[in-house]
Amino acid sequence: MINSGVDLIDIGGESTRPGAKPVALQEELDRVLPVIEGLKECGIPLSIDTYKAETMRQALRAGVDCVNDIWALRQAGALDAVLGSSNCGIVLMHMQRDPQTMQFDPEYVDVISEVSKFLNERAELLMQSCVHHDRIAIDPGFGFGKNLEHNISMLAHLNAFTATGFPVLAGISRKSMLGKITGKDTDQRMAASIAAAIMAADRGAQIIRVHDVSETVDALKLWEALQ
């Protein structure tokens, strides 16, 4: 990934795909801390993908630069965990319900306005707690409590989230929304994932979370050249 031009490495020890079962704290720590230790001198910023406060604290002590939380710091102790670090980046994601139930008929009156409102409120809470605006990024949470129509609407109108003034993270790579459109299995979604990355960048996303780093970097270099 580093040789391919990655800017940030996101490390997670617990799957949060729809229906995934929670992982015990110690098992998550056993998975992620050795990876952080092995990569902390790699020259690339590291992110910890977790919602557990203790994992955040230990990962920050181990040297990660960013906390990426699908619960937007709503779990017990999570807000205090990031406030205890004076300079880490924070990614706040929107999710309806939880990973076990989030895809059971998700409903919105207006997915764009509702997701934007939630993310703004979470970011405002952080800023009221003396977290500087520049430390915060937001993620609308593609596939986290959204059906295909919701996901397509969010991608089409991603600039509505960039209008909040916070950097927007788009994580669409290999997700089921691409499979529903293309009919392709997870390991056959590279082309659709790259197309989605370009669409997201074109609508203002500043962070693109991907699996296929080299191919996506090449595509984004071409897109950037046209800007």
Q: Which residues are catalytic?
A: 175, 209
Long-range (24+ apart) CB contacts under 8 A made by 29-34 are: 29/54, 29/55, 29/58, 32/59, 33/58, 33/59, 33/62
| Structural contact between residues 89 and 47, judged by C-beta atoms closer than 8 angstroms | yes
CA-based nearest residue to 115, from 155, 82, 80: 155
Q: In one letter, which amino acid is 86?
A: S
- 129 contacts: CB under 8 Å, gap ≥ 6: 79, 83
Provide the b/e sequence for 10-34 (b: ≥16 CB within 10 Å).
bbbbbebeeeeeebebeebbeebbe
